Amino acid sequence: MSCQQAPLLRVNTNLQMGQTKSKMKRIAFAGICFVLIAWKESSLNTTSGPKQNSQQKQVKQYAKKDIEDGKQLIAKSDCATCHRSDFKLIGPAYKDVAIKYAASATATTYLANKIIKGGSGVWGEIPMTPHTNVSLRDGEKLAKYILSVK
Ligand code: HEC
Calculate how far, in angstroms, residue 135's C-alpha sits from the geometric centre of ligand 1: 16
Same domain as 47, residue 95: no
Same domain as 85, residue 36: no
Calculate how far, in angstroms, residue 42's C-alpha sits from the geometric centre of ligand 1: 46
Same domain as 72, residue 3: no
Same domain as 73, residue 142: yes
pLDDT of residue 58: 45
Bridge partner residues of 83 (DSSP): 88
Question: Does any ligand 1 atom lie closer than 6 A to the CB of residue 144?
Answer: no
Question: Does any ligand 1 atom lie closer than 6 A to the CB of residue 78?
Answer: yes
Calculate how far, in angstroms, residue 138's C-alpha sits from the geometric centre of ligand 1: 15
Same domain as 20, residue 73: no
pLDDT for residue 94 is more than 60: yes
Ligand 1 atom with minimal separation from the 127 CA:
12
CA distances from 8 to 23, 25, 48, 121 (A): 12, 14, 35, 68
pLDDT for residue 59 is more than 70: no
Question: Does any ligand 1 atom lie closer than 6 A to the CB of residue 71?
Answer: no
How much is the pTM? 0.70
Domain count along the chain: 2
pLDDT for residue 140 is more than 50: yes
Same domain as 66, residue 36: no
Calculate how far, in angstroms, residue 118's C-alpha sits from the geometric centre of ligand 1: 7
Calculate how far, in angstroms, residue 115's C-alpha sits from the geometric centre of ligand 1: 6
For 9-51, the pLDDT digits (tens) are 555 545 555 566 676 677 665 655 455 555 555 555 444 444 4
- What is the CATH classification number for the domain harbouring 131? 1.10.760.10
Q: How far is it, in rounded angstroms, from Cα 110 to Cα 138?
A: 13
3 three-class SS: coil
Same domain as 143, residue 112: yes
pLDDT for residue 143 is more than 70: yes
Q: How far is it, in rounded angstroms, from Cα 10 to Cα 34?
A: 13
Question: Does any ligand 1 atom lie closer than 6 A to the CB of residue 90?
Answer: yes
Instruction: For residue 76, give its domain range.
Output: 62-148
Written in H, E and C, the secondary structure of 89-136 is: CCCCCHHHHHHHCCCCCCHHHHHHHHHHHCECCCCCCCCECCCCCCCH
